[in-house]
């Protein structure tokens, strides 16, 4: 498949993520977010659903043969090997609380491999994006995009790590692992969901670890972190979206972090 096919889809993803951000911000820090609880007790708002509907419409208009997997609506089967994987608001709890560390995630898969990803932070006006062979890029506001690159820190005692929330560690009965990471790293901060993983991709943190992740949580992150020179995948070292957990780390610390997780 040509780079043009990848690039055209990435461009749509970047543009559509910006459109979705504008929709999301209409509800941000307001009283009309329409908060509900899904069957798994996770929160969902009218902004989640509205943003995913917008993304699906843009994708369907431009690439009608591509499949779509999203968090909020049933999947659409494709016919050409491409599949878009969407999380309209990753970090809905942050969004509901009026804090800015939530993001819109768009991953693009080709024949089972993640080939492009976009992570936009509506409230911060930041975006990180990448496609296979094209590098990873970080843009704030209207500034020129700059290359995203992981850090070169190679010792955990010098590393900044991120996590989303403690509940997941208790759920998988690995609280002792969390304590080990917290006592080993220079700092461990709860800058969670996709924000922590993008800190890794842009060299501002060394690792971000989640004990529980769904395919739409990690799909967009895998190509971004990979193209920035790091690793994103499951705790067993596989760059897959259905491993059930996830970790991003720079290259220098990949083996050490994966070793601790095992």
3-state helix, strand, coil in the chain (%, to 5): 35, 25, 40
Write down the domain spans for the chain: 3-147, 156-261
For 229, residues 6+ apart whose C-beta sits below 8 A from its C-beta are 149, 150, 250, 251
pLDDT, residue 37, reads 84
Beta strands per DSSP E along the chain: 36-37, 43-44, 67-70, 82-90, 103-110, 113-121, 126-131, 135-140, 146-147, 160-163, 187-189, 207-210, 231-233, 246-249
State mean pLDDT over 211-228. 98
pLDDT, residue 39, reads 75
State mean pLDDT over 208-233. 98
State mean pLDDT over 224-231. 98
pLDDT, residue 2, reads 58
pLDDT, residue 115, reads 98
pLDDT, residue 226, reads 98
pLDDT, residue 3, reads 65
pLDDT, residue 1, reads 47
Q: Does domain 156-261 have CATH number 3.40.190.80?
A: yes
pTM score, two decimals? 0.96
Instruction: Express each pLDDT in 113-162 by its tens digit.
Output: 999 999 999 999 999 999 999 999 999 999 999 999 999 999 999 999 99
Fold entry, domain 3-147: Fructose-1,6-Bisphosphatase; Chain A, domain 1 (3.30.540)
Instruction: Express each pLDDT in 57-112 by its tens digit.
Output: 999 999 999 999 999 999 999 999 999 999 999 999 999 999 999 999 999 999 99
Instruction: Express each pLDDT in 12-44 by its tens digit.
Output: 999 999 999 999 999 999 998 989 888 776 888
């Amino acid at each position: 498949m040509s780079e043009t096919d990848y690039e055209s889809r990435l461009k749509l993803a970047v543009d559509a993520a910006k459109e979705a951000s504008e929709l999301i911000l209409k509800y941000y820090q307001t009283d009309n977010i329409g908060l509900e609880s899904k069957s798994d007790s996770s929160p969902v708002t009218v902004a989640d659903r509205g943003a995913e509907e917008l993304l699906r419409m843009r994708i369907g208009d431009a690439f009608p043969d591509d499949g779509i997997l999203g968090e909020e609506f049933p999947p659409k089967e494709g016919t050409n090997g491409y599949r878009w994987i969407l999380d309209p608001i990753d970090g809905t709890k942050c969004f509901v609380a009026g804090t800015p560390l939530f993001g819109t995630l768009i991953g693009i898969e080709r024949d089972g491999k993640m080939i492009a990803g976009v992570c936009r932070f509506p409230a911060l006006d930041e975006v990180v994006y990448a496609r296979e062979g094209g590098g990873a890029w970080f843009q704030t506001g209207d500034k020129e995009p700059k290359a995203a690159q992981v850090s070169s820190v190679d010792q955990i005692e010098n590393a900044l790590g991120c996590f989303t929330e403690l509940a997941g560690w208790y759920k998988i009965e690995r609280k002792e692992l969390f304590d080990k990471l917290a006592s080993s790293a220079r700092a461990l901060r709860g800058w969670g969901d996709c924000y922590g993983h993008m800190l890794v991709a842009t060299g501002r943190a060394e690792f971000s670890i989640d004990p529980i992740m769904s395919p739409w949580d990690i799909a967009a992150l895998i190509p971004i972190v990979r193209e920035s020179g790091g690793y994103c995948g499951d705790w067993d070292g596989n760059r897959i979206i259905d491993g059930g957990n996830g970790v991003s780390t720079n290259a220098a610390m990949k083996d050490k972090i994966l070793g601790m997780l095992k």
